[in-house]
Amino acid sequence: MVGITLGIESTAHTAAVGIISPDGTILADEKSIYTPEKGSGIHPREAGRHHAEALPKLITDALLSANLSSSDISLVSFARGPGLGPCLRTGATAARSFGHKLNIPIIGVNHCVAHLEIGLLEGATDPVLLYVSGANTQVIAYSNGRFRVFGETLDIGLGNGLDKFGREVGLEFPGGPKIEKLSEGPNLINLPYSVKGMDMSFSGLITSSLNKFKSGQKLENVCYSLQETAFAMSCEVAERALAHTGKNELVLGGGVACNSRLREMAETMAKERNATCFVPERSLCVDNGVMIAWLGSVMMAGDYQLSEIDNQVDQKFRTDMVEVSWR
């Protein structure tokens, strides 16, 4: 029987610690976000350093806010990947030192699968996940023993694309939320809409949006058109995944899923095909420790057999590499 689980997230810019009880009650959700210097992108080593400094306090704060002591924790879970090497190693080190000190099991889990499984806390049972974050854009669902990637970006993640556009037009990091605020319709500028089979491509869309801005189009109008185009592409692929798999639940995950327009579009699409759209609250859409704790807890409750590999980070730990023994 799995007791209370502490989860550590550190794959990219967010260092986070979450605590969850076996019935899914969230007991703590603490985060600290690394912000790159003005005008630059994320620097993996600097982000890793930020996480190394932040994690001990995040663990203390999480225990305090849950009103628990470390001896109440019976499992520690961390994100093995995918992510940036220095960031992943920092989280794994924190998990190992916490776990070894308490002599409790340590489990490394897949970050993308965690975004999907948190949807089950919202009431979904077997959803298609539209996962739109900084580095990742994937449409994922469970099928025949594995989580399969039904479609994904062929170049950059949508969030990184929005951040890049933001940086070039003078918005501070992260650009996504600022683009959302600026966005103003109803005039839709024609931008490249690249869905190729079940995959998407965003870099041409970002470049083209920048060119429209440089050639004198209003920023508000470019932001609006960029959002409409990118979100329609993502929803189209998610819809086709629902159709192919015959599933009728959609879950949104990743930082970009904080966007109200994307939420609205996904809800409309789901409704039109009699599916249910589950949208976790924003603190659970962004990278967080709760989903890492939850996935570790679900895996162990499902008799997952720990091995040497569960202790090692893997920068390229793809969604479909996870052997699913807990469903």
User: Pattern 179-218, binding to ligand AMP, x per CB under 6 A?
Assistant: -x--------------------------------------
Q: How far apart are CA 325 and CA 327, in angstroms?
A: 6
Cross-strand pairs, 250:
128, 277
SS3 assignment, position 305: coil
Between 117 and 228, name the residue whose CB sits nearer to Mg ion. Answer: 117
Least Å from the CB of residue 102 to ligand AMP = 28
Q: How far apart are CA 169 and CA 270, in angstroms?
A: 34
175 binds, among Mg ion, ligand AMP, none (CB under 5 to 8 A by kind): ligand AMP
SS3 assignment, position 304: coil
Question: What is the DSSP-derived secondary structure letter of residue 153?
Answer: B
Of 84, 139, 251, 258, the one binding ligand AMP (CB under 6 A) is: 258
Q: Contact between 194 and Mg ion (CB under 5 A)?
A: no
177 binds, among ligand AMP, Mg ion, none (CB under 5 to 8 A by kind): ligand AMP
The answer to whether 111 is annotated as binding is: yes
Between 95 and 256, name the residue whose CB sits nearer to ligand AMP. Answer: 256
Of 5, 10, 14, 221, the one binding ligand AMP (CB under 6 A) is: 14
Give the nearest residue (CB) to Mg ion.
Answer: 133
DSSP for 195-231, written as a single string: EETTEE--HHHHHHHHHHHHTT--HHHHHHHHHHHHH
Of 9, 152, 163, 310, the one binding ligand AMP (CB under 6 A) is: 163
Residue position matching structure tokens 């996870």: 322
Asked if residue 63 lies in contact with residue 28, where contact means CB atoms within 8 angstroms, the answer is yes
**Closest by Cα among 299, 319, 289 to 26:** 289
Of 16, 20, 223, 286, the one binding ligand AMP (CB under 6 A) is: 286
**Helix (H) / strand (E) containing 120:** helix 111-121
**Closest by Cα among 222, 163, 161 to 194:** 161
Question: How many CB atoms lie under 10 A from the CB of residue 11?
Answer: 31
The answer to whether 195 is annotated as binding is: no
The answer to whether 134 is annotated as binding is: yes
Of 5, 90, 110, 133, the one binding Mg ion (CB under 5 A) is: 133
Residue position matching structure tokens 């798999």: 245
Asked if residue 149 lies in contact with residue 322, where contact means CB atoms within 8 angstroms, the answer is no
Q: How far apart are CA 54 and CA 52, in angstroms?
A: 6
The answer to whether 91 is annotated as binding is: no
Give the interface segment with ligand AMP, choosing from 85-93, 170-178, 196-204, 291-299 (CB under 6 A): 170-178
Q: Contact between 91 and ligand AMP (CB under 6 A)?
A: no
Q: Contact between 117 and Mg ion (CB under 5 A)?
A: no
Q: Name the residues that contact ligand AMP, by CB under 6 A.
A: 12, 14, 133-134, 159-160, 162-163, 174-177, 180, 254-256, 258-259, 286-287
Contact residues for Mg ion, defined by CB under 5 A: 133, 287
Binding residues: 111, 115, 131-135, 163, 176, 180, 259, 287
Query: Which residues are annotated binding-site positions for Fe cation?
Result: 111, 115, 131, 287
